[in-house]
Amino acid sequence: MWKEFKGFISNDNIITMATGIIMGSAFTAIVNSLVDDIFMPIIVAFTGQADVSGLAAKIGGTTLNYGLFLQAIINFILVAFFLYITLKALEKVQKKRIVAPDPEPVGPTEVELLQEILSEIKTNNSL
């Protein structure tokens, strides 16, 4: 059982997955900082208030904190939107890199070589 566990832990898929989780966590911190520290202040400058987390309603003896829910929705939409924009920009850069024109081939093409070989065979057979 120990040998199987050791093999499971040292499996390349586990290491790849752990790396992806760590990178995702780091990227989440970057995106959250982008939204909280750059875009939210811009929105506050235009709207006057972007934090609705303090909104609440009293129902009997219970407080309904619907502002926290609304703030979570706003944050999600902002994070999703800016992540979408970032990924579209990266996709555009990748396409430019992938679609780069191939250099002009030097010498004859494969078809030209085959035609030349066929011509040689026909010439040799006619002698």
DSSP H or E run through 27? helix 12-33
**Structure confidence at residue 108 as a pLDDT band (50, 70, 90):** confident
The CA-atom distances, in angstroms, between 61 and each of 10, 53, 58, 65 are 54, 20, 7, 13
Q: Rounded to whole angstroms, how far apart are CA atoms 50 and 77? A: 13
pTM of structure: 0.47
Q: Rounded to whole angstroms, how far apart are CA atoms 10 and 52? A: 47
pLDDT of residue 73: 86
Burial class (CB in 10 A: 0-12, 13-18, 19+), 35: buried
CATH classification (class only), 2-102: mainly alpha
pLDDT of residue 127: 58
For residue 106, how many C-alpha atoms fall within 13 Å in the half-sphere facing its CB? 0
CB within 8 Å of 65: residues ≥ 6 apart: 53, 55, 56
Q: What is the dihedral of CA 94, 99, 104, 106, to 10 degrees?
A: 60
**Structure confidence at residue 102 as a pLDDT band (50, 70, 90):** low
Which is higher by pLDDT, 9 or 54?
54
Q: Rounded to whole angstroms, how far apart are CA atoms 54 and 71? A: 9
Residue range 16-44, pLDDT digits in tens: 888 889 988 888 888 778 877 887 787 77
Question: Domain map of the chain by residue range?
Answer: 2-102
